[in-house]
Structure 1
Amino acid sequence: MAINHIEWRTLRAGDTPVLAELFRDAVMQLAASHYDEAGRVAWAASADDLDAFGARLTQGLTLVAVSSDAIAAFGQLHPADHVSMLYTAPAFAGQGIAWTLLARFEAVARAAGTPVLTAHASASAKRSFERAGFHVLEEENLDRNGVSLKRFRMQKPLVAAHIPQ
């Protein structure tokens, strides 16, 4: 699917069910090459409780990418120095939307004077974060519903270190 135009907006009332579906689809389809089915099912279950998922979406800044009335991706900056969610609909994967979303979060963080932007990236999202200038600090294992999932603690410095002369 070619992207003609992306509209960027913040989270709206009523977005939760659509974003939960996008989240599940992204986890089940796009993460298949990095996580087994049990891991993806455990991870995707995070969106089963729509009230809890919706409450999580309202924290911090949640941005939504829309193309031709279809939600293409969403992400969240929470707190102000941490990318806590980054998901692309499978039909829009590989088109640079995740990278653009990360650039938008970086701009917000820079404007706020945040020195470092951090994230816990899945194995499937790691490449997008690396393309956006993040580097791995360490590999971690996260427990989701009794299943261990590999992820990466990553960061991107936003303020150059001051070197005394």
Structure 2
Amino acid sequence: MTGYALANVLHVLAVVIWVGGMFFAYMFLRPVAGQQLEGPARLKLWEGVFARFFPWVWASVLVILVTGFYLIFGVFGGMGDVHPSVHTMLLLGLIMMAIFAHVFFAPYRRMRKAIAANDTEEGLRRLGQIRILVGINTVIGLVTIVVASGGRLPL
């Protein structure tokens, strides 16, 4: 497998893990958990889900950055030589990464502290913040996939 092929495959897999995980959590797990679980149980569920999912997101972010920059600069010759869709993908990806970093270091950290202190109201408030930000990131991720898969197509 060439460097280009390996980087491309790893890049796509990392995007699928991250965006697919958010889509599943937001569209399927969240509504069912909200309907079937009371506040404390819902918080414990999400604490466990995030504890398992977020390391995969960090790994995905790293893989996306390394492979993306390798493809841009190592394969295609730099930002001046890539299609405008690549510029859009990079911008959207960086926005997503910033949103994720905020989720991880602010509301997620505060949600975990609230759970440890048995403060269900505060934990649910922080979970609500995470829900909004993950929803935004899911939409941005889906738009990025559209740009990536259709970026060179005439509209």
State the TM-score, normalized to the length of structure 2. 0.26
Bigger radius of gyration? 2
State the TM-score, normalized to the length of structure 1. 0.25
Bigger RCO (CA 8 Å, 6+ sep): 2
